[in-house]
Structure 1
Amino acid sequence: MALLVVGITIALAACNRNDRRTPPEPDLAGSLTVRFLDVGQGDAVLIRSPEGKTLLVDGGRSTTRMAEHMRKYQIDKIDLMVATHADADHIAGLVEAAGAKPTYFINNGLAGTTQTWERLVSALQSAGTTFQKANNQVFNLGSAKVRIIAPPAGMGDDQNDNSVGVRVDFGEFHALLTGDSEKPETTAWLNQNRPEIEGPVQVYKSIHHGAANGDHQAWLTRVRAGNVVISVGENTYGHPTATALNLYKTNGIKVYRTDQQGTVTFTGKADGTYKVNTER
């Protein structure tokens, strides 16, 4: 089943330029939550604005686990859903999350070839979701800004190297997520001097579950992360690798792991301060 995408820049409907109503004042006194869900070997990051607007980036490989998280965190509406790429450990749980009727769905424009991908597309179409290809869009998620980082041109058809990046800014509190990007993609972003990757950022997701071909020194020098979360479970790939762990240690980045600490939640204020909570 093909995925229909369009390459336009758009904000959430409440901020449509044709809507002349006075928008609500942003709640900069509230908190933004960035929750790295414990989904085993996979990625799923749930972000909620002070106003209750919701962004889900990836969904892990288990619909059962995603259903549990949605009940636990009372997610009955998703404003923006992003699949960084079409690998099963990132999209299978999104099939369950589609029940929350996402307003927008962003992906890299490379349709998956699996039945899981077909189920996801079908579920989103049934939900009335608007599909878009990553095109450097900026969304208003309540008082937070969500900046989509499109894969660079020339990455071929490899899903990992066409991972969609996501940056979330809430005042002086910043989070950066880049899926399973490997060194060719992050190097291309560096060469483009993409402003979205400029640190410092308080919250950063380890690339590709801590694989050796993910994070590298030039990239981390630009990102300047204070904390890194490795979304990982029992696996045969050796994730997280000693290469990645040593790189984080060398750069003085505090490490959290979902396989050891369960779901990891950052609660950030607009002044850049934050708290961290872990729960198994």
Structure 2
Amino acid sequence: MRRSGGRNGWGTRLALLPLTIALSLGAFGCASSPPGPPGTPPQPTPGVAPEVAPDFAPDTAPEAAPALAPGMDAPRPTGDLWIHFLDVGQGDAVLIEEPSGRRVLIDAGPAGRVADTLQAMGVEELDLFIASHNHADHIGGAAAVIRAIPVRFVMDNGVPHITLTYQRMLEAMREHDVPLLEPEGRTVQFGQATLHILPPPGDPRLGHNDNSVGVILRFGRFHAMFAGDAEGHLWHHWLETLPEPLPAVDLHKASHHGSRNGDIAEALAVLQPRVILVGAGRNNRFGHPHPEALALYEEVGAQVFSTAEWGRIGVRVQPDGSFQVGEGPLFPPAGPEPDEEPQELCLDVNTASVLELQAIIHLDTVRSQLLVSLREERPFTSLDDLVRVPGIGPARVRDIRDQGLACVGLGGR
């Protein structure tokens, strides 16, 4: 719907899928087998308090169906739902497991870790993979996941990205014939849980962060919000254009890893989250979560937990809406420990050939040749240093950085 010209044939081919295929997500077809050893998270060890936060009791207010799903009767939960915030370094990857065994993965972190972790957890199938947007710290592990674990459907933000990481994800989908769903506003019945999809504007000029797919998870009286890397424009878009207001939530995944330009006060005032979880790398060079974001979270009275401090974090949600935030004994063995600064494949502007450089936005043949000549005189020290190339100013440097393909040295951006 928002894919001009398609994506290597994907947009055209998948547009012809019968509508019933997309709508079949409401039941996800045949169910995965219920979680069992070794996939079931073990119970807390007797005598050990695994929680890093106290139990959160359900709200005392009467239960009301969320405004985003008028007239919809959600099933009454009969078991625990699990939300795993995987430790992927500087990135996001969230696995949701509902009681009957269906699983949804939202984002797949940087390259190289998520597939191994999911397999170590006993995950044998994913009913849906949602790529909030196509930046490498959210889809870097997507190709490996699709190749290692059967994935029934993929949904992304509908805005193509010219990066090797993005192309690898498409190639893996093509190899395994995984349908790609448009990010339309819809309600997806996910076993005993419900996913409300919040569509992005679909305007490439806004960049990928402000075209993130939003997801509201409902499980009985429990609600959680996942907004990718949403920044101010996207938050205002949702606040102003959704047919009904966003609901108050129990849990919110910090937008844009808790950066200063992620969550906004107006949205948090509506969401009123009780707990905010931040996906960020240990000792990350961005300073996430940023003090300004933490100040916003404090204003709404939310408790904040970060993978930068705790590593893998999980949330167990009981049928009555109460939930615990924990780590350690609550969870199955973790996969390989991620690097503090995960390295992703990129084009080093100090070593790439003239032909390779032309894959970078704004670098045509002439500018690529000029870049090579300039680096022979003096290597580039950062992407900001690209303003030395004629025709490349600060605005185009921002475009190059947002594309996520160029780097200087070992992943420097």
Same fold (TM over 0.5): yes
Residue 113 of structure 1 corresponds to 162
Measure the CA separation in 2 of the matches of 1:225 and 1:135: 25
Contact preservation (8 Å) 1:155, 1:161? no
1:215 aligns with 2:228: no
Give CA deviations for 1:217-247 in whole Å, capped at 9, x if unaligned.
1110111111000000032222111000111
Residue 302 of structure 2 corresponds to 253
Residue 128 of structure 2 corresponds to 80
Residue 206 of structure 1 corresponds to 254
Choose which of 324, 327, 352 in structure 2 pairs with 1:275. Answer: 324
1:142 aligns with 2:155: no
Measure the CA separation in 2 of the matches of 1:26 and 1:51: 12
Measure the CA separation in 1 of the matches of 2:238 and 2:85: 24
Choose which of 73, 90, 114 in structure 2 pairs with 1:41. Answer: 90
Moved over 3 A (4+): 5-9, 13-16, 193-196
- Deviation (angstroms), 1:190: 0.7
CA distance 1:61–1:84, change in 2 (3 Å): same
Residue 67 of structure 2 corresponds to none
1:229 aligns with 2:229: no
Q: Provide TM-score, normalisation by structure 2.
A: 0.62
CA-based RMSD of the aligned residues comes to: 2.1
CA distance 1:196–1:132, change in 2 (3 Å): farther
- Deviation (angstroms), 1:198: 1.6
Residue 59 of structure 1 corresponds to 108
Q: Provide TM-score, normalisation by structure 1.
A: 0.90
Gap regions ≥5 residues in structure 1: 17-24
CA distance 1:207–1:51, change in 2 (3 Å): same
Residue 262 of structure 1 corresponds to 311
Measure the CA separation in 1 of the matches of 2:138 and 2:198: 17
% of aligned pairs identical? 32
Greater radius of gyration (CA): 2
Residue 32 of structure 1 corresponds to 81
SS at match of 2:250: strand
Give CA deviations for 1:179-204 in whole Å, capped at 9, x if unaligned.
001001101111124547321x1111
Residue 10 of structure 1 corresponds to 23
Of stretches 125-134 and 248-257 in structure 1, the one that deviates more from structure 2 is: 125-134
SS at match of 2:196: strand
Gap regions ≥5 residues in structure 2: 1-6, 30-73, 329-333, 335-413
Contact preservation (8 Å) 1:227, 1:253? yes
Measure the CA separation in 1 of the matches of 2:220 and 2:26: 22
Larger strand percent: 1
Contact preservation (8 Å) 1:101, 1:124? no
- Deviation (angstroms), 1:100: 1.5
Contact preservation (8 Å) 2:93, 2:108? yes
Measure the CA separation in 1 of the matches of 2:270 and 2:158: 27
Choose which of 219, 226, 233 in structure 2 pairs with 1:177. Answer: 226
Task: Kindly tell me the number of residue pairs found equivalent between the two proteins.
Answer: 270
Contact preservation (8 Å) 2:108, 2:141? yes
SS at match of 1:197: coil
Give CA deviations for 1:20-78 in whole Å, capped at 9, x if unaligned.
xxxxx957110111111110000000001101100000010032x21331122111100
SS at match of 1:276: strand
- Deviation (angstroms), 1:137: 2.2
Residue 22 of structure 1 corresponds to none
Contact preservation (8 Å) 1:101, 1:128? no
Measure the CA separation in 2 of the matches of 1:241 and 1:93: 25
CA distance 1:60–1:196, change in 2 (3 Å): farther
Measure the CA separation in 1 of the matches of 2:229 and 2:263: 10
Residue 189 of structure 1 corresponds to 238
